[in-house]
């Protein structure tokens, strides 16, 4: 007999060799129906797994992240099987689950069309109806290579596995795939699915490799869940910042300038300027000093920082300056450290809080670029804190409060917080430093009345961190804010301060970003508001619409008055009907329209239309301005 400890701490005894699915049925028939995978001693595996020794067991449903991954991974195999049935000459690459669904990459001489996707979906339904058992097996390397001899991408993957690696496969009907799993027990467990789109993808994300065809899909246990997701996708498409960026003339990209390099148009630049102005004002209020640093640095700087050793592939190529290598900066931290090193600091000077909207350049592969969310040149909302160890807990709490305040100011009041702890293998700094830093991070979260998910061992080699993921209007999570300890750079750059006893001590260094990068945050903000920015951020806050040419002079006077108050106001002087002008202003998502006719000129008033509240009727000009300025002052959303 073996003893199985369940998630709730209860223990059950079973015959050695009992599989997980039978244990699930013993606990509850409903749980057995809902279970999609199992976690045995912390490792996710199939429900078909047999148990031969005492263990901890957690049965996973679709509601868990691991359950979704298992469900979607199985759906990707069903799709690949359907493709191979319809197009036998297609070669298989990889087919993982991803954050929302799954994909599979295929090497096919034929380009898949929308009609092909419909045929693939129909074949997938047949495979699901067949309810084929999904079976795992392993093979020695020579037999594995023989089995996959007609699949060159699988051969490449097998040859790269360590000599002692277990080579596992999953079989369903006539279809077998190289895979580490886990998977559902049978194809019939997948209920509702949809193939979303087809795109090109380089093998292994490297543009030097062959372009493959990638098909994306999604699957759920219930049709209602699929329907809800497809509605969300439809809404997300309307909110796509790339689409809105073009329609609202906010930003663009140009191949001659270079992929991943953003061109900010006047309207987009206005929104960005409002964000940056607010950012600077709030940092100064919160005890930060603003610094500015160069866009390039000597190669020796990046050697000392470790970037050339660990991050060179993500950096732009060196440029020769007077016979020496200089690099466009991928990060700002070495420059802030250089400022610190320009003089000797005492414990009395600490903490130091230095912030910069520093533009950095990173070589992202072309296949990963995505609008403003993944670019090659971006401005980090960056700051570095240098403090004595005893100051660190208070500084962390201060940063966290500041971070949540800033996010809330932009309309993000839903978050999920993740705390990543010391990795199990390579890391720098002593254990006590890691323990103190992790404790400070966790206590800061608790002190603010918040909860966090712990990512055991998920910290970077140079320190633990907090990541804050904001939720937008569609409840999608976006990674923006980070509070990251660094025990590495102070050591590499030999940073010190004079302690109270006159000795030299190493300061603690904290990297932090509140918004992430201005570009990414702007993209998230655009999608959150569907381009209808709150009045304090809107690229055009007021549009003045005179009905006739005789009303132009009065309209221009109002615009000048608003502009003097730092309000972005435009006058539509086109010889168009007022209904057309109103429709155009609505499409531009402008918060307020002021309609000017004979009555308004005579009464020195305006007829106000609000994007949010509709027709507000006639209003005294000063009364409207007072209302507008109060909304801007309070950053009303």
- Mind telling me the catalytic residues? 333, 362, 380, 382, 384, 465, 511
Q: How far apart are CA 237 and CA 247, in angstroms?
A: 13
| Partners of residue 341 on adjacent β-strands | none
Q: Is 360 helix (H, G, I), strand (E, B) or coil?
A: strand
- CA 556 vs. chain centroid, Å, equals 43
Token pair in block for residue 340: 């610190």
Q: How far is CA 535 from CA 541, 586, 609, in A?
A: 6, 14, 13
Residue 90's nearest CA partner among 102, 98, 82 is 82
Alpha carbon dihedral 403, 406, 408, 411, in 10-degree steps, equals -130
At 226, phi and psi to the nearest 5?
-65, -45
Residue 109 near residue 209 (C-beta atoms within 8 A): no
Provide the CB-side half-sphere exposure for 258 (13 A, CA). 11
Token pair in block for residue 296: 């390039």
- In which residue are the tokens 């909110």 written? 239
The residues, any chain, with a CB within 8 Å of residue 398's CB and separated by 6 or more, are 286
Token pair in block for residue 519: 């570009």
Classify residue 323 as left (phi > 0), alpha (psi -120 to 50) or beta.
left
Q: How far apart are CA 573 and CA 548, in angstroms?
A: 9
Token pair in block for residue 503: 């000795």
């Amino acid at each position: 007999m073996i003893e199985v400890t369940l998630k709730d701490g209860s223990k059950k005894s079973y015959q050695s060799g009992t599989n997980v699915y039978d244990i699930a049925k013993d606990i509850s028939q409903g749980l057995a129906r809902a279970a999609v995978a199992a976690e045995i001693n912390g490792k996710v595996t199939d429900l078909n797994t047999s148990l031969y020794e005492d263990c901890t067991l957690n049965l996973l449903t679709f509601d868990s992240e691991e359950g979704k991954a298992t469900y979607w991974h199985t759906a990707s195999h069903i799709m690949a099987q359907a493709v191979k049935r319809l197009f036998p000459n297609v070669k298989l690459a990889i087919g993982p689950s991803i954050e929302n669904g799954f994909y599979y990459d295929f090497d096919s001489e034929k380009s898949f069309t929308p009609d092909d996707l419909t045929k693939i979906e129909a074949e997938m339904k047949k495979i699901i109806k067949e309810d084929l058992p999904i079976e795992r097996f392993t093979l020695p390397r020579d037999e594995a290579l023989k089995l996959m001899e007609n699949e060159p991408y699988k051969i490449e993957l097998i040859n790269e596995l360590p000599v002692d690696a277990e080579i596992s496969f999953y079989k369903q009907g006539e279809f077998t795939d190289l895979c580490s799993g886990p998977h559902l027990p049978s194809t019939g467990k997948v209920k509702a699915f949809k193939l979303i789109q087809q795109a090109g993808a380089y093998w292994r994300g490297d543009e030097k490799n062959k372009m493959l065809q990638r098909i994306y899909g999604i699957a759920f246990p219930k049709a209602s869940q699929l329907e809800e997701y497809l509605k969300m996708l439809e809404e997300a498409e309307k909110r796509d910042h790339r689409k809105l960026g073009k329609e609202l003339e906010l930003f663009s990209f140009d191949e001659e300038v270079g992929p991943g390099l953003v061109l900010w148009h006047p309207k987009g630049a206005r929104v960005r300027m409002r964000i940056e102005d607010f950012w600077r004002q709030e940092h100064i209020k919160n005890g930060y000093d603003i610094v500015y640093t160069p866009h390039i640095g000597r190669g020796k700087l990046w050697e000392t920082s470790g970037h050339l050793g660990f991050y060179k592939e993500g950096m732009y190529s060196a440029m020769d300056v007077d016979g020496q290598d200089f690099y466009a900066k991928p990060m700002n931290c070495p420059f802030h450290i250089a400022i610190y090193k320009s003089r000797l600091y005492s414990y009395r000077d600490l903490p130091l809080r230095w912030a910069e909207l520093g533009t950095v350049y990173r070589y992202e592969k072309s296949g990963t670029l995505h609008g403003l969310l993944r670019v090659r040149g971006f401005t980090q909302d960056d700051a570095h804190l240098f403090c004595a160890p005893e100051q660190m807990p208070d500084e962390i709490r201060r940063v966290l409060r500041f971070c949540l305040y800033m996010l809330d100011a932009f309309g993000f009041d839903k978050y999920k917080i993740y705390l990543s702890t010391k990795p199990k293998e390579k890391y720098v700094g002593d254990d006590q430093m890691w323990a103190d830093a992790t404790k400070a991070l966790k206590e800061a979260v608790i002190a603010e009345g918040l909860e966090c998910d712990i990512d055991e061992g998920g910290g970077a080699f140079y320190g633990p961190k907090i990541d804050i993921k904001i939720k937008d209007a569609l409840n999608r999570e976006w990674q923006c804010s980070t509070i990251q300890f660094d025990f590495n750079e102070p050591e590499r750059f030999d940073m010190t301060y004079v302690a109270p006893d006159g000795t030299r001590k190493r300061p603690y260094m904290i990297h932090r970003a509140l918004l992430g990068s201005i570009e990414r945050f702007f993209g998230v903000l655009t999608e959150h508001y569907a381009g209808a920015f709150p009045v304090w951020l809107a690229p055009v806050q007021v549009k003045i619409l005179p009905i006739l040419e005789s009303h132009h002079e009065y309209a221009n006077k109002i615009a000048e008055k608003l502009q003097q108050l730092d309000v972005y106001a435009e006058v539509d002087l086109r010889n168009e009907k007022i209904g057309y002008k109103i429709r155009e202003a609505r499409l531009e998502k402008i918060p307020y329209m002021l309609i000017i006719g004979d009555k308004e000129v005579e009464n020195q008033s305006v007829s106000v239309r609000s994007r949010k509240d509709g027709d507000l009727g006639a209003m005294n000009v000063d009364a409207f301005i007072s209302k507008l300025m109060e909304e801007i002052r309070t950053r009303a959303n």
